[in-house]
Amino acid sequence: MKKIQLLFILLLSLQTAFSQLYITRNGLISFYSHTALEDINASNNEVASVLNSATGDFEFKVAIKSFHFKKTAMEEHFNNASYMDSEKYPRAGFKGKVTNISTVDFSKDGVYKVTVEGNLTIKDVTKPVTVNGSITVKSGAVSADAVFNVLRKDYNILGESFVQKKIAEQIQVTIKCSYDKR
């Protein structure tokens, strides 16, 4: 019995020893909405993200008011109550896991295709999502990239009725994080 306990403790400490956290405080997230009438895009350079190379745990958080647009008027609309309502919901985020983290060799240069499963929360609405992306290892530096679509109405991003033709149903989101090892 003692031996099993000892083994268990040993295994746990091994896992801790190998677990590496990759952190960024200034990742990039942008989105793009395309319709025949108008293209809309905005970007945000203050993504906070943590990737655990041992467990595959992955999360990111974004401040809604950090999204900047070319047009101030658009930025104001984006933040108002009928869209992101950023006074009430200042933050959005994702929490999940890279399901095939064991296929990524963090000590070897390469571009590794990964699948991330987890929950995306926008405006306090949480939905499960699965996203394909990649983890790049280049001379020891680790970065992650993904492009995915968000069906805006799933998260109550509605907008006034008269602008519906100008806003795509599917919003394309691009995320790019360059990590520092912790």
Partner 1 sequence: MKKRKILTALGVVIIAGAAYAFYMWNKPRRDVRDEEGIKITATAIYEAFSTDEAKANTLYLNKAIQVTGEVQEVKKNDAGQTVVYLKTNDPLYGVNCTFKENPGTLANGSTITFKGICTGFLSDVIINEGVIVQ
Q: Is 43 or 52 the residue whose CB approaches partner 1 more closely?
A: 43
Asked if 104 and 112 touch (Cβ cutoff 8 Å), the reply is: yes
65 binds partner 1 (CB under 8 A): yes
Element containing residue 105 per DSSP (H, E): none
- Footprint of partner 1 on 26-55 (CB under 8 A): 26, 28, 43, 45-46, 48
Shortest Cβ 103–partner 1 spacing (Å): 26
Q: Which is nearer to partner 1, 71 or 165 (CB)?
A: 71
How many angstroms separate the CA atoms of 143 and 51, rounded? 10
Q: Please report, as residue ranges, which positions from 98 to 137 form the binding site for partner 1 (by CB under 8 A).
A: none
Q: At closest approach, how far in Å is the CB of 144 from partner 1?
A: 13
Residue 62 or 167: which CB sits closer to partner 1? 62
Least Cα distance to 18 among 114, 149, 106 occurs for 106
Binding site for partner 1 (CB under 8 A): 25-26, 28, 43, 45-46, 48, 61-66, 68, 71-73, 76, 87, 90-91, 176, 178, 182
